Amino acid sequence: MKNGIVTELCAGSLADCMTAANFPEIDRIELNCALELGGLTPSFSTFAEARKITGKKIICMIRPRPAGFNYSSDEKQLMFREARLFLESGADGIVFGFLNADLTVDEESTAQMCRLAHSFSKEAVFHMAFDLTHDASAAAESLISCGTDRILTRGHAENALQGKEEIASLINRYGSDIQFLPGGGVNAGNVREILGFTKSGQIHFSAKSVFHDSGAYFASDINKVRNILDQIGSLQ
């Protein structure tokens, strides 16, 4: 925790988890793969190795493919199997998103995933699929009724800075019933404004840069991580 703010690093690899492990101020890791696709389910081996190197909370992404979040029954079965495997093996929570074809929350699948996470006394987090819904209030109320613990959101905007007014409104209206985690485009230049305006007690960031190895890939940049944490530490 940095200056009373819970910090979560969005990691796309074991190397990113190792970066997070080097910063005591980082509280949680959201573990993915393929950040260039928006984050997909990580391999179990990546999670198992990450669990060995850090005692920080690890929230595992459950997302079987890129694009939207209206999944087939076969895709849902795979998601539930993978979620159970991570939870049985020591994950501190799972992050997921189920939408209907009309971009409302798929309440049946969401409630089932929440029950699964809670059966292990772990967290159920709804990711930025929330930002595809047409009605933020209706979606938040659906997720509360399903038992969701936290919503990761950029406030139905391009990034969390642009969506700060909606995030602040959601926290003000529903913050006693569910957590809201601002994320998306968070950097050292805007993190203080996002936190100050929304009054959120937590923040999500990847601090990624583009690296090259016979092609380009995303990875957490240790200097960007340090700069974001320094800005959070300077909050009054």
Look at residue 1 in the predicted model and tell me its pLDDT.
77
Sign of the CA dihedral with 194 first, then 233, 207, and 26 last? negative
**Could you read off the pLDDT of 25-67 as tens digits, one per residue?**
999 999 999 999 999 999 999 999 999 999 999 999 999 999 9
Whole-model pTM above 0.85? yes
- Looking at the domain assignment, is residue 227 inside a domain? yes
Residues 6+ apart with CB under 8 A from 25: 1, 2, 7, 229, 232, 233
90 within some domain: yes
Is residue 21 in a domain?
yes
| 1 is a domain residue | no
- Specify the number of domains making up the chain: 1
Residues in the chain: 236
Cβ contact 37:17 at 8 Å: no
C-alpha–C-alpha distance, residues 54 and 17, integer Å: 8
In this structure, is residue 65 part of a structural domain? yes
pLDDT at 3: 85
Instruction: Report d(CA 44, CA 182) in Å as an integer.
Output: 27
The answer to whether residue 221 sits within a structural domain is yes
Pairing, β 208-212 against β 202-205: unpaired
Q: Which domain range does residue 38 map to?
A: 6-233
**Segment 170-196, tens digit of pLDDT:** 999 999 999 999 999 999 999 999 999
pLDDT at position 107 is: 98
In a domain, 218, yes or no: yes
| CB-based contact 197:164 (threshold 8 Å) | yes
CATH number at residue 17: 3.20.20.380
In a domain, 88, yes or no: yes
pLDDT at 228: 97
Which residues of the chain fall short of a pLDDT of 50?
Answer: none
What's the pLDDT score for residue 236?
A: 66
